[in-house]
Amino acid sequence: MYLMTQITRDDVLHLAQLSSLDLNDSEIDGLQTDLGNIIGYVDKLGELDTTGVEPTYQVTGLKNIWRDDTIINYGVTREELLARAPETTDFQVKVPKVL
């Protein structure tokens, strides 16, 4: 399958939304051009016939590895981790209202 790709301004806005990025207006035009060019380049894989070829998702050569379901102590306390949160309250991470 060979896709002739055109990235529209709406595509950029949609992708930004999927990616949780509130883009500045000034960035959108540039990204539209760049994404179009990049997708246009990678489209060349569509030329190849890969019928019957298995995909490669990982290259470790390792098979499933099981370990005991035990807790590994990384030596980091809850206090130390919470101290890195931008905002906390009552020993928990604080976020704005969801709804």
Partner 1 sequence: MTTISEIKQQIKDSSARTVVENTLKLAKDNDSYHALLNLTEERALKLADEVDAGKITGKLAGVPFVVKDNFLAFGAPTTAASKMLENFDAPLQATAVEKLEAEGAICIGKANLDAFAHGGSTENSAFGPTKNAYDTTRVAGGSSGGSAVITALNVVPFALGSDTGGSIRQPASFNGVVGIKPTYGTVSRFGVVAMASSTDCIGLFATNAADTELVLSIMAGKDERDMTTLPNFFEIKPQAKPNQKIGVIKEFMAEGVNEEVKAAVNDYIEKLKANGHTVEEVSLPMTEYALAIYYILVPAELSSNLARYDGIRYGHRAEGIKTLAELYGKTRDEGFVTENKRRIMIGSYVLSSGYFDAYYLQAQKVRTLLINQFNKLFEQYDMLIGPVSPTTAFKIGENINDPVKMYLMDIMTVPVSLAGLPAISVPCGKDKSGLTIGVQLMGPRCSDADLLALAREMESK
Minimum CB separation of residue 31 from partner 1 in Å reads 6
Sole residue written with tokens 């760049």: 34
Instruction: Give the Cα separation of 79 and 77 in Å (integer).
Output: 5
CB 15, CB 35: distance < 8 Å = yes
Per-residue x/- track, 67-96, partner 1 (CB under 8 A): x----x-xxx---xx--xxxx-----x-xx
Quick check: helix, strand or coil at residue 68?
Answer: coil
The reply on whether position 53 binds partner 1 by CB under 8 A is yes
Residue 38 contacts residue 12 (beta carbons within 8 Å) = no
Query: Residue 28 has which token pair?
Result: 């959108």
Smallest distance from the beta carbon of 90 to partner 1, in angstroms? 16
Residues engaged in binding partner 1 (CB under 8 A): 1, 3, 11-12, 15-16, 18-24, 27, 30-31, 34-35, 37-39, 41-46, 48, 50, 53-62, 65, 67, 72, 74-76, 80-81, 84-87, 93, 95-98
